[in-house]
Structure 1
Amino acid sequence: MGQIIQLILGILTLVSMWKIFEMFGQKGWAAIIPFYNLIVLLRIVNWEAYKFWLFFIPIYNIYLAYLLYKDLAAKFGQGTPGFAIGILLLPFIFLPLLAFKSKPVA
């Protein structure tokens, strides 16, 4: 039963990322490609491409992920630190909120 729930939550997260990518003019299928989806997220939040390599530094990558999600949430008008922490810890709840309830601000 637990595996079915994990599968459903994983699919929900994937569909949410797909929709977010398409909202910003990126290819939705990029959400399913490991590492490339991070590069596309960096493009969406207007970060430099070299920051991709910084995600391989232990502990610092958690801080970078927080900053990335904070900037992503800000694109939807949800720039609070709590929302970024929510995406980091519970992406299956907070990413669908962005994808299906919010419209990009700018």
Structure 2
Amino acid sequence: MTESGFAPVHVGVLVVALVVAVLEIAATWRVLVKASRPGWGVIIPIYNVYLWLKVAGRPGWWLVLYLIPGVNVIVHLVVSIDVARSFDKGTMFGVGLWLLPWIGIPILGFGSARYVDANPSA
């Protein structure tokens, strides 16, 4: 059996992956715009994490914590919960956002969630 018989399957997987990636970028773009941040920032590596920290109301230097193995997992959980709270969602939604971002981010971006300033003094 030749591998060429599996080519349509590979193309199908690639198409699905591209569609999911585009939807996630669009959803995250919408989340950033709702939070009065530049939506285009989602496509810039590292800067997108910085913007996500700002949406969560966390300081930019927390970006360094993402570079520490093990600590980054906990930091991302805290940031996910803070992002959920910034959109007036509960802690469990934040945990879901941490575990299943491909579901939570579109809910925030395309749903009726409204941004509540996470840190009005900053």
Same fold (TM over 0.5): yes
User: How does 1:1-106 map onto structure 2 within 5 Å?
Assistant: 1-80=12-91, 82-101=92-111, 102-106=113-117
Give 3-state SS (helix, strand or coil) of 1:103's partner. Answer: coil
Aligned-pair distance for 1:88? 2.2
Amino acid at match of 2:38: K
Aligned-pair distance for 1:94? 1.0
Long gaps (5+) in structure 2: 1-11, 118-122
TM-score, length basis structure 1? 0.90
Asked whether the 8 Å contact 1:18–1:29 carries over to 2, the reply is yes
Percent identity of equivalent pairs: 29
Mapped to 2, the partners of 1:62 and 1:21 lie a distance apart of 22
Q: CA RMSD in A?
A: 1.3
Mapped to 1, the partners of 2:77 and 2:21 lie a distance apart of 20
Structure having the higher Rg: 2
Asked whether the 8 Å contact 1:71–1:79 carries over to 2, the reply is no
- Give the corresponding residue for 2:8: none
Aligned-pair distance for 1:2? 1.6
Mapped to 2, the partners of 1:44 and 1:94 lie a distance apart of 15
Q: Aligned residues, how many? A: 105
